[in-house]
Amino acid sequence: MFFGASLSAKSLSDYLNVRYKYFQDNPESRTDLPQGNIDWVEYFTKAEENKQGCAAGGIYESGELAFEYLFSLHGKQGMIDLWKSIETAPDFDTALFEVFGRHKTDLYKAFGDYIESQLVELRKNN
């Protein structure tokens, strides 16, 4: 979702408007992101294990925000390096560590913190 939304947007404003629509709380456009006291490491670990149900429970939205977080820290080259590493590394954790110097469980916690901060901001602007 992150790459599709960011590549199709003509400007940062367009991207933010599309992104905002994902998280509005109405029947046409709402988020399935878990909210409340979430164990984000467990959430992302289960999402990784449950490949058949990947669209449920806010997986797309959380994935978009996770990549948005990584992009904000490492830019386009970091994303390119990650995709290259995924092709050659023995597993996802190794690819993340090779590129970002952090294991996936550390990043899963950071993703959760970022997601929660974004949900707070989106509620302020709603």
Distances (CA, A) of 120 to 33, 93, 101, 113: 13, 29, 28, 11
- Mean residue pLDDT across the chain: 81
The residue that leads in pLDDT, 65 or 58, is 65
Mean predicted confidence (pLDDT) in 85-100: 94
CA atoms within 13 A on the CB side of 31: 24
The residue that leads in pLDDT, 110 or 126, is 110
- Residues sharing a CB contact under 8 Å with residue 125, sequence separation 6 or more, in sequence order: 20
pTM: 0.78
